Amino acid sequence: MAVLKEGSRPPWVGLAAAVWVQIAAGSAYTFPLYSPALKSVLGFSQQQLTIIGVANDIGENVGILPGIACNKFPPWVILLVGLCLSFFGYGVLWLAVSQTVLSLPYWVVSS
């Protein structure tokens, strides 16, 4: 068994934090739910919607970054950052779909 220095965490803790961030964000499950609204309300073409879907898929696959960062920071910091980013990202989508903010540029919604 590997000897860990005092105060360090096993490597699986980083993986567990990354999985929790992805589960909490739920991005893999929600895009098919709000993509028709993006297309109809914002008037996106199918090509623009596909690009957003690809960006969503890429974003899901970089979830390993919180796991790597968790080896440097406590898990609560990583979860707090994930929470803030998810709140901001889904908040922008909600503002766009609910037409609270009119005429958001495409790059804002797609990022």
| Domain membership of residue 80 as a residue range | 13-20+30-110
Confidence grade of residue 45 (pLDDT, cut at 50, 70, 90) = confident
| 4 falls within a domain | no
Q: At what angle do helices 27-42 and 75-97 cross, to 10 degrees?
A: 20
- The string of pLDDT tens digits covering residues 51-87 is 888 877 777 677 677 667 777 888 788 778 878 887 8
* Verdict on whether the full-model pTM lies above 0.75: no
Phi and psi, residue 75, nearest 5°: -55, -35
| 37 falls within a domain | yes
Which amino acid, one-letter code, is at 49?
A: L
Domain count, the chain: 1
| 25 falls within a domain | no
- What pLDDT is recorded for position 9? 66
| 7 falls within a domain | no
